[in-house]
Structures are given as C-alpha cells and as structure tokens.
Structure 1
Amino acid sequence: MRPTALMLFAAGFGTRMRPLTDDRPKPLIEVAGRPLIDHALALAEGAGLNRIVVNAHYRAGQIESHLAGRHGIAVLREDPQILDTGGGLRHALPLLGEGPVFTLNSDAVWTGPNPLATLAAAWDPARMDGLLLLIPRGRATGHAGTGDFLTDADGRLTRGPGAVYSGAQILRTDGLAEIPEPVFSLNRLWDRMLAEGRLFGVLHPGGWCDVGHPDGIAEAEALLAGQGDA
C-alpha cells in the first residue's frame, strides 16, 4: 500500500549554516524567496500526502508560528532534548499512524519529478523495508564526499562510495520499537535492513542541492533557475 504520511525533519541546530541560524532555525532560511520548509511542503502537497508531522527543537516556536493553521500539518516539539532522526521518527509515530511512512529532510531543493512520487512508484513492500532516494554523485550539488551507497542490479543497497542519500525515503517503522535508546540515528534501522537485504534505493532523475551551509543558498537558487540541471 502507498504510504500517505510524511515525517519532515526540522529540529536540527543548523550549525553549518551559522551565522544565518543564530536567530532562526535552518528550515526558515529562504531560498528563491521561500523558506526551505515551504519548498519541502510543496513536494508533500504535490504528492498528495494528507498527514504531515514536522519535528522541532531549535527555536521551535518559530516553526510553530510559521506553520500555524495549515491543514494536515502537526508540529511536534522534541523537549528537553533533540532525539536525532531515529528517535524523532519514533516519537512521531502516534501522529503518523501505522504502516510505512515517507521521511524528508527540510534542507534541500529539488528539480525534476517530484521525489516523493518517484519513491511511491518504486515502493514494493513485498521486497522492501526501506527505499532511499539517491542522487548520482556527479549531480549532488552542494554535497562533498564520496557517496553513501552502492546498488546491485535489483536496487538492493550496500554501504560504500557511490550514490548520495538525498534525505527522502520510505520506511517501515516496526523496527524502531526494538531500539532501546531514546536518541539514535536512522542509521541504526538501516543497518538492520541492510543485514536482511531489505534496504533498496532508486535514483532521482532531476536536480538536487544540499542547502547545508550559506554558500549552498546561491547554488540552490541557480539550480532552481535552471542553471544546474543535469
């Protein structure tokens, strides 16, 4: 069944974005005249998702004020401590509901097909517990590094230098209950899926830019203007 709920990660401190994040959370930094979080929410709307949970910690009140009154969006504070991606997703499960969910980072911009729709079209729950949207390293604008995953002919993943994880995925959440720590990364869940051969990847055919540092804003705006498309 196609997931209908989205976890949007927006709780981080944005330390690489300083000084821009000294007075605001990173999701409210503007790219091409719109806050990053609104770029992400436009993707969710375009994919027809009707239940969205946004986590918040650093300057959470600003996130709450920005999203106040928007239908189908719940802001969930992580307090007193930030829970990382795994702990944050588990904390949100009562609002997300049962079954697989989309997750999306709020610090990237995209061109080309809707990334959430690409994931939905490739999702096969009979074979998969997780499906990650990947970017070929040569098209990962704003991202430094050798890549995160290798794929076999069937799309099954192993860790290694190759494609870059984009911050968008579909996950089964059952395994979160088996992790005892309150604060943990979704890498813990991925490791279990990798060991069982049930973590897969699909490539995004359009453009993507990681807006993780101030210089990334200009790169993202160039991408959106059509200057950085592959």
Structure 2
Amino acid sequence: MPDLMPRGPEALMLFAAGRGTRMGALTADRPKPLIEVAGRPLIDHALDLVSGAGIARTVVNTHYFADQLAAHLAGRELALSHEPELLETGGGLRAALPLLGPGPVFTLNSDAVWTGSNPLAQLRAAWDPARMDALLLLVSPGAARGRVGGGDFSLDAEGRLHRGGPMIYVGAQILRPDGLAGIDAEVFSLNLLWDRIAAAGRLFGVIHDGFWCDVGRPEGIAEAEAMLREADHV
C-alpha cells in the first residue's frame, strides 16, 4: 500500500555565500565551503546530508569566490543563486525562492559537521505544518563543538521556542517562507522572520540526537575531525 503521509519539503537552500572572515588567512584565496575537514570540502559534507535525506531540489547561494564554488559544483544536480551583493540569510533565501519553488523549504548552513542521525531527516520526521511555520534543529551545550558564545533558545513543554536559554541553533531548519514577502529590507537575517513566527506561537524546535561542530574558525577544523574520529566516521 502506498505511503499517503506527506514527506514534507522537497527543496533545500544551502547557504554558501559568506566571506568566512572568522577563518582568517584560510579564506584569503577560497570560499569557506571549500575548506577541507577530514579530507573533504565542507560543502561536500553538507551535500551528503542532502542526498541522504532524499531532497529533490537543492539551491546553493554564492558570492565570495563564486567562480570556485561554481567550478566545484559543476555537473551536480543543483541550482546556483548568485548574489552580486551579500543579502544575509533572509535576503538570500528570498532571492532564491523562484529556484526553490513553492511551499516550505529546508535551509542548511555549509560550515558545520555532524554525527548521529541525518539532521534533515530528523527535521522531516518532526515537521507538523498544521502547528509550525518554522522548525529549528538544536543541540544542548554538551553536544556542541567549536561553539563560541552562549545558547540561543529554550523549549517549552510543547516544543515551542523562546529567545534565550541554553539550546543552540545549529544551522538546519524547515521554514515556511511566505512571511519573507512582508519584510521591506533587501538585506536581512532570518532572525527577523523567526521573531514574527515566534510571536504567532508557530516557532518550534527539535533536538538533534548526535553531535555538531561549528567550523567557522580555524580551530574548528581540528575539533570537527576529532569529533568524526570519535564517531568512527573516518
């Protein structure tokens, strides 16, 4: 008998446009998504997750050293959304919507490495469009590596998110992008949309069942490789 349950979003936005300034000299001649962890570029680690979750359409935004990213990604089944000027996460997602198509989308940062279950599959399994306009993936401080700073959110008993608290957003979510049309700014963070969604009681979170490493700084490379070794991924 065919599965009649909805599978959730079928499109993903992979954020890869930033300058990677926290990487210092490592991004002087290449974009951060091409920095290698365990012998492979960060963006390839991210695309493995996309493939593993069976997502049909992928859009990658580019800006800094866009030609290098385009060359690296040539021949793959994805689309590029080039930003002549950086638009941040909110503006970048809105610019890519014609390529992503209608309905909710996944978004994923390209500067992290994971262990445990596929984070995108976890989001798909927890997504409830009747209650949610956004579902963010989180980890506790003990499951985070390479993180500088405190937490981002707390969860209530029903899984709704509230600003402030120990839980860390790890750059993976499902989002209904309709609200982007009501934001006047051209360059803006998705935090602006999240706050509007939270005010309506439709911002939710789910906790990742493995570890996550932020590879936003040079020292994050070694931390990510150690985390992968511990999980027998390499």
- TM-score tier (shorter): over 0.9
State the secondary structure of the residue aligned to 2:216.
coil
State the secondary structure of the residue aligned to 1:55.
strand
Within a 5 Å distance, the mapping from 1:1-230 to structure 2 comes to 1=6, 2-71=8-77, 73-79=78-84, 81-226=85-230
CA-CA distance at 1:227 after TM superposition: 6.1
Contact 2:152 2:165 in 1 (8 A): yes
2:232 and 2:83 map into 1 onto residues whose CA distance is 36
State the secondary structure of the residue aligned to 1:138.
helix
Q: Scaled by the length of structure 1, what TM-score is found?
A: 0.97
Q: Which runs of structure 1 show a deviation greater than 2 angstroms over 4 or more consecutive aligned residues? A: none
Contact 1:20 1:214 in 2 (8 A): yes
State the secondary structure of the residue aligned to 1:18.
helix
Contact 1:222 1:228 in 2 (8 A): no
CA-CA distance at 1:211 after TM superposition: 0.3
1:192 and 1:127 map into 2 onto residues whose CA distance is 15
Contact 2:113 2:215 in 1 (8 A): yes
Contact 1:157 1:200 in 2 (8 A): yes
Q: Scaled by the length of structure 2, what TM-score is found?
A: 0.95
The residue type paired with residue 74 of structure 1 is A
Contact 1:155 1:202 in 2 (8 A): yes
State the secondary structure of the residue aligned to 1:225.
helix
Q: CA RMSD for the aligned pairs? A: 1.2
**Are residues 227 and 50 of structure 1, via their aligned partners in 2, closer, same or farther at CA, if it must alter by over 3 Å?**
closer
CA-CA distance at 1:161 after TM superposition: 2.4
What whole-Å deviation, never above 9, does each CA across 1:154-208 have from its counterpart, x for those lacking one? 1000000210000000000000000011100000100101100100000001011
1:195 and 1:3 map into 2 onto residues whose CA distance is 23
What whole-Å deviation, never above 9, does each CA across 1:6-36 have from its counterpart, x for those lacking one? 0000000000001100000000000001000
The residue type paired with residue 226 of structure 2 is A
Segments of 5+ residues of structure 2 without an aligned counterpart are: 1-5
1:78 and 1:100 map into 2 onto residues whose CA distance is 22
